[in-house]
């Protein structure tokens, strides 16, 4: 993956969004959008979205570090899926973290 960035969503809980992606010209070839939260002094993955298999997928993670099977997330291009994942994480990160904490 080439370009990447991190965005702190909530300083109090340590919620962050990490975005990594690969492009060719203007086409997104692969991406990962990862929601993390501080847990017991470490960064834990709560949810991840990616285009690794050429389709837009979402994975839930549990507090034990296990990643659930992929769920189809968005029917569009990888670029559209990446942008949709970013919007989804920004809008619903607290609910995602609450669900993760319940696992």
Are 89 and 96 a contacting pair, CB within 8 Å? yes
Instruction: Give the contacts of 54 (CB within 8 A, at least 6 positions apart).
Output: 78
Q: Tell me, what's the pLDDT at 3?
A: 83
pTM score over 0.75: yes
Q: Hey, CA dihedral for 19, 8, 44, 71, is it positive or negative? A: negative
pLDDT tens-digit map of 8-39? 999 999 999 999 999 999 899 999 999 999 99
Burial class (CB in 10 A: 0-12, 13-18, 19+), 22: middle
Residue boundaries of the structural domains of the chain: 4-101
pLDDT at 1 over 60: no
Q: What is the pLDDT of residue 2?
A: 65
Residue 24's pLDDT is what? 92
């Amino acid at each position: 993956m080439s370009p990447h960035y991190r965005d702190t969503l909530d300083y109090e809980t340590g919620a962050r969004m990490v975005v990594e992606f690969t492009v060719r010209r203007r086409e997104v070839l692969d991406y990962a959008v990862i929601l993390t939260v501080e847990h017991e002094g470490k960064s834990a993955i709560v949810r991840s979205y990616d285009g690794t298999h050429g389709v837009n997928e979402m994975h839930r993670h549990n507090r034990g570090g296990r990643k659930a099977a992929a769920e189809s997330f968005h029917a569009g291009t990888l670029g559209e899926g990446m942008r949709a994942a970013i919007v989804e994480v920004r809008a619903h990160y607290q609910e995602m973290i609450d669900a993760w904490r319940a696992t």
